[in-house]
Structure 1
Amino acid sequence: MSNIFREFIQKVGSGSHTSENLTRAEAAMAMKMMLLAEATPAQIGAFLIAHRIKRPTGEELAGMLDAYNELGPKLQPISQPVIVLGIPYDGRTRTAPINIITALLLAAAGQPVIMHGGDRYPTKYGLPLIEIWQGLGVDWTNFPLDKIQQVFEKTGIGFIHTPTHFPLTQALWEYRDQLGKRPPLATMELIWCPYTGDAHIIAGFVHPPTESMFQVALELLQVKKYTFVKGLEGSCDLPRDRTAIIGFSSSKTQELERLHLAPREYGFTSKNVPLGTRAELIQDMQSVLAGDESEFMQTALWNGGFYLWHSGICPDIQAGITKARELFSSGLVAAKLRELIW
């Protein structure tokens, strides 16, 4: 048993009136002790559930990310600006994800992208990114980190599979299943950046208070460019059934700039594509890559148009939609996927 870790439990687990927040240094130490199994299983479980009940602060998330940055894998800088997409680790269960198509589109347009994720995790056990990539013919679990770096430099796309490239995290995911709740680690990982260069962090969220936690943590980490998307199932995917709510860092003030984007104003119907089987999703993705018109293509164009504009490739969203359609119909996005199949 660790007496130091017991003190952290006492601070966060003393109840609504007397519990205290951890400092950034304390949160970093607590995270390292959990990753390195220096705390006992009983202590780790107690801490995770107590911390969830208390709710994390931005400073605590920054400290946890300090530990991830010290112990976790990192891709090395390239000469271009990079986008890091933060997407929930327990996968999708209701709506078809478009983010991998978005990443391929951005890379085909010259905007490098890094993604990261694990396997099917509690509490949703939804469809994870790694299984979709595998269905498209790319198995990132076969690549060691130095190979990921080579692929990233060549193609503009990198993927960190946490069980393979950051195995210290694996034991902690067992606690999610046993506790039946997502611990604050799940929130923290949405803004984790497995890259040593300057990056534009794009993270999805569900609950509005998450935005302020993200912003505080990233400012403490001196990340200056970030975007938060109230997306489908907490992802970075823009919805079609409601107005998309987006906040992003401002170069002029410390306040978030705010966008409210209505799909119908850009000619899109208010319908999200439901998630069927993985095989059906892969077939729909292959259809988009072939340039075929479909409901899923509408989702791809809506998301692609926004991200091509937001990354500075196109002057406005409508131009981004036009550019996305051109990239799909020309076969350049499909060619980008073929570059990844070794």
Structure 2
Amino acid sequence: MHPFAPFIQILGKGRHGSRSLTQEEARAAFGMILDGQASPEQVGAFLMLIRVREESPEEAAGFVAAVRERIAVPEGIPVPAIDWGSYAGKRRHLPWFLLAARLLAQNGLPVFMHGTEGESGERIYTHAALAALGLSASASLAEAGERLAASGFAFLPLESFAPGLKRLMQLRELLGLRSPVHSVARMLNPLGAPLSVHGIFHRGYERIHQQAAILLREPGVVVFKGEGGEAEINPEMGAEVLVSRGAVAGGFDLPPLLERRQLKPERLDPAHLRAVWEGEVGDVYGEAAVIATVGCVLQARGMAAGRDEALALARAWWAAR
């Protein structure tokens, strides 16, 4: 029997014979996949068997551990205050979370952002939107560390530090479905930031992220259903925010910041982000999204006693930018 086959057997023995993988089994299985020790057929079967019933927190934690073991972080890289995954892209609104990250960095909370571009031509991905803000992606972890030290913000494409995971992510176009790798990428926190910010699209995955973080003893994770699947609070909807600190789970609710819905833009022009940042134009929705997102992060970090105090601080930072 092929060494990888037992993992497929565990997952695929049918309604009464199958079970989820333990955290250690998941770590071992995903490690074999990343090391090229499973055939393409086995990889496809494995990912889709997981997809049918969704990954468990133990499986997600094991997958994350396997990827982290294969990331070579150079010595001397500064530890950012915030880790921020960006993998969904935006379709209905601009990526206002970029301004939120910039505002946090400007106020002494360095942000390490990582992500990748998808195949959809209808979405704006972070890598492309950075240019409108006069920023560019780093080419390596070492370069990202230099930019964190110099400016407090760095964006690094997934393929620059976890190419095996990027290749697995690209299977979505072949298989037609998302797989656990899209959650794993958001959870990586490769530089060990004390707070990792996760935005998810499918409701219910918040608890998988939270419980996986507890299993991994992450110092701090905040996760919520974000606009378009990115880590951005929708100010028209609010959010249920889950938080974990080590082995402790918590959370808080964010009611809508805007009382009425705003008209969605007819087209998304990333240059508008810079114009709003520089105060050349206003944007009711965009500014509210930035303030709500920054307030959420501040509350999760314990830098404010509650929502009102967090929003007040976020508004003050925005006014002084």
Question: TM-score, normalised to structure 2's length?
Answer: 0.87
> What corresponds to 1:52 in structure 2?
51
Q: CA deviation at 1:75?
A: 6.8
Q: How does 1:220-235 map to 2 (within 5 A)?
A: 220-235=215-230
Confirm whether residue 104 of structure 1 aligns to residue 102 of structure 2.
yes
> What corresponds to 2:253 in structure 1?
259
CA displacement, residues 234-259 of structure 1 (integer Å, 9 cap, x when unaligned): 221111222322122369x8342222
Confirm whether residue 276 of structure 1 aligns to residue 258 of structure 2.
no
Question: TM-score, normalised to structure 1's length?
Answer: 0.82
> What corresponds to 2:93 in structure 1?
95
8 Å CA contact retained: 1:82, 1:200: yes
8 Å CA contact retained: 2:93, 2:265: yes
Q: CA deviation at 1:263?
A: 0.9
8 Å CA contact retained: 2:241, 2:253: yes
8 Å CA contact retained: 1:75, 1:195: no
C-alpha separation in 1, matches of 2:22 and 2:7: 10
> 3-state SS of the aligned residue for 2:248?
coil
CA gap 1:318/1:146 in 2 versus in 1, 3 angstroms: closer
CA gap 1:173/1:207 in 2 versus in 1, 3 angstroms: closer
> 3-state SS of the aligned residue for 1:114?
strand
Residue of 185, 197, 203 corresponding to 1:189? 185
CA gap 1:44/1:117 in 2 versus in 1, 3 angstroms: same
State the percentage of identical aligned residues: 24
C-alpha separation in 1, matches of 2:229 and 2:279: 28
CA gap 1:155/1:75 in 2 versus in 1, 3 angstroms: farther
C-alpha separation in 2, matches of 1:297 and 1:204: 19
Q: How does 1:105-184 map to 2 (within 5 A)?
A: 105-121=103-119, 126-141=123-138, 143-184=139-180
8 Å CA contact retained: 1:90, 1:121: no
Q: CA deviation at 1:127?
A: 2.2
8 Å CA contact retained: 2:145, 2:154: yes
Structure 1 residue runs without a partner (length 5+): 329-342
8 Å CA contact retained: 2:239, 2:255: yes
Structure 2 residue runs without a partner (length 5+): none
C-alpha separation in 2, matches of 1:193 and 1:76: 16
Q: CA deviation at 1:18?
A: 2.0
Q: CA deviation at 1:66?
A: 0.8
> What corresponds to 2:17 in structure 1?
18
Q: CA deviation at 1:301?
A: 3.1
The number of equivalent residue pairs is 317
